[in-house]
Chains A and B, each alone.
Chain A
Amino acid sequence: MSYLKLENIYKQFAGKVVLKGVNAEIEKGELVCILGPSGCGKTTLLRIIAGLETADQGKVIIDRKDCTMLPPSKRNFGIVFQSYALFPNMTVEQNILFGLSEQKKLNKEQQRAKALEVLALVGLLEHKNKYPAQLSGGQQQRTALARAIALSPGYLLLDEPLSALDAKVRSKLRLEIRRIQQELGITTIMVTHDQEEALTMADRIIVMNNAVIEQVGAPRTIYEKPANTFVANFIGTMNFYENNKGTFGVRPENIELTKNVLPESFWTGKVSFLEFKGAMIRVYSKLYDNREICVDLPVEKAKAMELKENDTVYLKVADRHLIQYADVQEAV
């Protein structure tokens, strides 16, 4: 029996359906990312799990208990919002103690000890007497996390927790959150629109679009075997082509590109544009039938080939890298 179970969740706001029969199961101790473009219903789903919204239809079962109708205060979770919602007139420590002080079973000393413990866990002990406005974005984020886990909740909800931070801090905090989550073994559900975040942090990813779940799976599976063209397009880049056997997709890094004619079957293209991406170069080529295809090459390799625009190139895809689809669906 899974720890958290969503059964056929249906929700609409003012006539607009935001969740259309969503089913999902989350195991104890795992970190699950709900990933999708903005407006896909992922935040609403999180708020339903929190009890901040109520589903119009369906059930929320947490720890074998039907929680569909329970208010948030009876659900035993911790939450971190995109805005952090730190109480600005309280210090870091007071922010954490505010919730702990409602725990009647702990005395003052135990409350303080618990606050210091979570502050140590997120590495903020030395900043405990600062006010939120005196902290950097990353420190604010960690304060919010510390506050959320201070009450030892049954599960943790993270609503776009990193999207307000700049890239460097963000990638550092990804690891940090993951470490803390694993250390505590706490079941965590995180909403994000950032595919990289989902791929690097999650045990499993739930990809959502237009009020429904498109695919559920481990990051690798999602990336290597996207269930449909939406997922393929939303996560990473995918080239599509159609022939008489159907629609096929192939990742740019799975295409072999040479300037010499290959012995086996291949496509011929003409380089239209080179995009420098740091470690890789993305080569955009036009095929004989004017379709565009992109290929990722390590920079060193491109250099060795002396690749430049208007070169004629030969492309080859191994069969195992081809993914077949019913039809092409644009990602937002």
Chain B
Amino acid sequence: MIRNINKKLQVTNPAQFFLMLFLTSIFFAGMVFPIFSLFIKAFQNSSGGFAGFENYFKYFSQPTLSYSLLNTLDVSLTTSVVSTMLGFAYAYSLKRTNIKLKRFFRYVALFPIFVPTVVHGIGLIVLFGKQGILTQLGLVIELYGKTGIILSEIIYTFPQAFLMFYVTLHYADGRLYEVADSMGCNALTKFMRITVPEIKYTLIYSLFVCFTLAFTDFGAPKVIGGSYNVLAIDLYKQVAGQFNFNMGAVVSTLLLIPALLTFAADRILNAKNYGEISTKAIELKIKKNKLRDGLFFTVCFLIFVFFLMIIGALFMDALMKYYPYEKSFTLEHFKFSQSTGGIQSFVNSISMSLLTAVFGTIFVFVYTYLIEKGKGMEHIKKIGRLLSVAPIAVPGMVIGLSFIFFFNSRSNPLNFIYGTVVILVLANIVHFYTVPYVTAAGALKKLDKEFESIAESMRIPGWKILLRVSVPMSLPAILEIFMYYFVNAMVTVSAVVFLYSADFKVASIAITHMEEAGDIAQASAMSLLILTVNLIAGSIYDRSQSNSTALLIGKATNAIN
């Protein structure tokens, strides 16, 4: 019997195959090789010779440096526990109680997503700093240092924790609660035996994610950390201050650890959690309970007031002449000084974010399409899937530094993109890749898997099916990906801090420079501009979506910044 050995040639479409190969190689250039060169650097001495673990020994033998590891752990642990608790309480209030103003509370909780993390620090400075609004009223706290960082990181990670619980608590199986009622279980028993198992995985994952976000954040400690050193600051100082790239690489590898653990946790939890909610689940009817509602409303209200104060503080500082001495209204702070970036930085941010959104969306969609709908190519698809989920485990600063190593090397033919907007866009696309990928894959999986077969039988070329059917049918997801890329590129500091050039500064970086120059009012004004643009973008998107749960899931699965 003759085997049909040449079958592979027949079932693979050559055009698809080459496109897949091409996009995969972009991925290698934009992630795999840079990270690889980062690892090489961590094990090299400054002259390029092999150093083994010498750099690591040196790092840990310097007390100031190894202290910052302990500091980072301290800050991240506190943040992750507090944020997870608050996020759960907030989500529980919105999903399992009958409090008023739910919709309103939900939007307010998302505010920190729409501004760079430095802005949380700046808001806190305006409130609690030496001339702070609350400090003036006698509420004095030791803001600069540990307290300030923890507060900022809680603001930063709270929406992530909240969204994860919000999604989990949304999918309740009302039948379980009804059966428990018929068996005479009290509220505590129901909570412990039904609710807790439901949220168990989210709880663990939220702890991991918040920990990692706080562990790798650069913005907040930059503006509010004072002399309290954390790893991200170390990394920045080693690279931007002392040009000690090898040590920078060492710190980067340390920053990768919690992110990789989170990634592993996600894989394990996902595998266990899969399909636990039955499709027969019925909606949960929330019972009347005045005491519970009152309690949870108070929690929500306090968090809301705190957020309102931060936003309010930004407004006051940005719109008053010279708080607290001259409180008259002015728009003067929106005339940004050239030295710290000027209005140009804001324009740059918008163009960088638009480019990121346009090219990121196209890349994600086409690549995911080939992975989900391409003919044959099983091996390369597997690699593609792995590449697509990996970026979530790489912190922004690590991407930035690895890009320096890879693209700044003279021998790299892609060297010319160094110092241009292209490298910023590439860094953003890679950094925020995973959530758009999950969104695109989800949307494509929902399409009938026989569209391509039908097209083939009708001799319709593959690209026509993609453009005429798959793209229009996935439009909400595409829009979602676009907005996600745009908003995140607008606010990111960590991914671009090593990569922006003097003549292309972006707004989030400009804010840190304004703060450094002591111009908090301009920093606040710039923060408001970013917030406004992102809210407009977000609301356009929100209006186009009938159901924004997908967005929530997307945002919640995001994480590592």
Contact = CB atoms under 8 A, between A and B. Distances in A.
Interface in A82-130: 83, 85, 87-90, 98-99, 102
27 contacts: A50-B457, A51-B456, A52-B453, A54-B7, A54-B10, A56-B3, A56-B4, A57-B3, A57-B4, A69-B6, A69-B7, A71-B456, A72-B453, A72-B456, A73-B457, A75-B457, A77-B457, A81-B450, A85-B450, A85-B454, A87-B468, A98-B468, A102-B458, A147-B454, A148-B457, A151-B459, A153-B457
B376 to A, nearest CB: 10
Contacts of A85: 448, 450-451, 453-454
A319 B58 CA distance: 97
A133 to B, nearest CB: 12
A99 B460 contact: yes
Contacts of A272: none
A57 B1 contact: yes
A55 interface: yes
B472 interface: yes
- Which of B2, B451, B457, B469 has the most chain A CB within a 10 Å cutoff? B457
Contacts of B6: 69
A226 interface: no
Of B1, B450, B468, most buried by chain A (CB within 10 Å of CB) is B450
Interface of A: 8, 10, 50-58, 68-73, 75, 77-79, 81, 83, 85, 87-90, 98-99, 102, 147-148, 151, 153
Interface in B418-477: 448, 450-451, 453-454, 456-461, 468-469, 472-473
A56 B4 CA distance: 6
Given A85-B448, A85-B451, A87-B469, A54 B460 contact: no
B195 to A, nearest CB: 37
B467 to A, nearest CB: 11
B11 interface: yes
Given A55-B4, A56-B3, A83-B448, A88 B457 contact: no
Contacts of B456: 51-52, 71-73
A87 B1 contact: no
A71 B3 contact: no
Contacts, number: 81
Contacts of A68: 4
Contacts of B473: 88-89
B10 A70 contact: yes
Interface string B1-40: 1111011001100000000000000000000000000000
Nearest to B456: A72
B1 A8 contact: yes
**In the A-B complex, the 3 residue pairs with the closest CB atoms:** A99-B458, A85-B450, A72-B456
Given A68-B4, A79-B457, A153-B457, 15 more contacts: A54-B4, A56-B7, A57-B3, A69-B4, A69-B6, A72-B457, A78-B457, A85-B450, A85-B453, A85-B454, A87-B468, A98-B460, A102-B459, A151-B458, A151-B459
Nearest to B9: A69
A99 B4 contact: no
Nearest to A71: B10
A50 B453 CA distance: 9
Contacts of A151: 458-459
Contact of A69 (B10, B448, B468): B10
B472 to A, nearest CB: 5
A116 B75 CA distance: 70
A87 B450 CA distance: 10
Most buried by B among A55, A68, A73, A88: A73
Given A54-B11, A79-B453, A98-B460, A89 B469 contact: yes
A226 B450 CA distance: 35
B301 to A, nearest CB: 43
Contacts of A55: 4
A30 B246 CA distance: 75
Contacts of A147: 454, 458
Contacts of B10: 54, 69-71
